[in-house]
Chains A and B, each alone.
Chain A
Amino acid sequence: KAGVTQTPRYLIKTRGQQVTLSCSPISGHRSVSWYQQTPGQGLQFLFEYFSETQRNKGNFPGRFSGRQFSNSRSEMNVSTLELGDSALYLCASRPPGQGFSPLHFGNGTRLTVT
């Protein structure tokens, strides 16, 4: 079974631009969550989707948004990029109906904003 796939792996953008990151969960997984990792703040929860619905959102500005498609693939979008948005963005998926099963993480997308 293929793991969680995130694309692209690396991305360089300029301040003010917008970016879209993609996450394909493990086949059969319907829950996808997103996390941001920076040297200063560590790992922080962004949002979580289940069956195309956002179930939870972390403390991030409205410039950060996401969605989930009917095939469980998820995208997150950051608009009006700021230098502080430079980070490793990770997504994770979980099997359905197993709230207490471990998360499966992708390798992340490393975003650099210049």
Chain B
Amino acid sequence: KNEVEQSPQNLTAQEGEFITINCSYSVGISALHWLQQHPGGGIVSLFMLSSGKKKHGRLIATINIQEKHSSLHITASHPRDSAVYICAGQYNTDKLIFGTGTRLQVFP
């Protein structure tokens, strides 16, 4: 069983829809990362959080330490948001355990 589970695996949406991607982890972590990967492979770090909620533009990330659960929300989705979104638990220093990713496609 993977220590970090993501759902859904695939997600399609119409432009403007509100999107939620979920991530749960089985053991305690020091921080949780949300990453975005576009075709071609480059990865961009969206958020790193250890408690509460963070917001950047149309993106919001939340984490519930007691429930070992995090969510990534995208408000007013746009076709340029189409990418693979990956959550990763940070267990110590830079050792990350990754989820399997959520492939998001937003259609105009």
Q: Which of A93-114 contact B (CB under 8 A)?
A: 94, 99-108, 110
Is the CB of B76 closer than 8 A to any CB of chain A? no
The segment out of B19-27, B36-44, B66-74 that lies at the interface is B36-44
Is the CB of A56 closer than 8 A to any CB of chain B? yes
A88 to B40, CA, bound (A): 10
Which listed residue, A35, A48, A90, touches B93 by the CB 8 Å rule? A48
A93 to B33, CA, bound (A): 14
A interface SS class: strand
Report whether B98 and A42 are in contact in the complex, using a CB–CB cutoff of 8 Å.
yes
Report whether A92 and B42 are in contact in the complex, using a CB–CB cutoff of 8 Å.
no
A110 to B96, CA, bound (A): 20
Closest B residue to A57 by CB, please name it. B95
Report whether B48 and A56 are in contact in the complex, using a CB–CB cutoff of 8 Å.
no
Report whether B50 and A108 are in contact in the complex, using a CB–CB cutoff of 8 Å.
no
Which listed residue, B31, B96, B100, touches A45 by the CB 8 Å rule? B96
With contact pairs A44-B98, A56-B92, A56-B95 given, residues A105 and B43 touching in the complex (Cβ less than 8 Å): yes
Residues in chain A near residue B96, CB distance under 8 A = 33, 35, 43, 45, 103
Q: Number of contacting residues on A, CB 8 A? A: 28
Is the CB of A31 closer than 8 A to any CB of chain B? yes
Chain B min CB distance to A3 (Å):
10
Is the CB of A58 closer than 8 A to any CB of chain B? yes
Report whether A56 and B98 are in contact in the complex, using a CB–CB cutoff of 8 Å.
no
Report whether A31 and B33 are in contact in the complex, using a CB–CB cutoff of 8 Å.
no
Report whether B48 and A107 are in contact in the complex, using a CB–CB cutoff of 8 Å.
no
Which listed residue, A31, A44, A107, A108, touches B94 by the CB 8 Å rule? A31
A43 to B50, CA, bound (A): 21
Q: What are 23 A-to-B residue pairs whose CB atoms are below 8 Å?
A: A31-B93, A33-B94, A43-B86, A45-B95, A45-B98, A50-B93, A55-B94, A56-B93, A92-B43, A94-B94, A99-B30, A99-B93, A100-B30, A100-B50, A101-B48, A102-B33, A103-B94, A103-B96, A105-B42, A107-B40, A107-B42, A108-B41, A108-B43
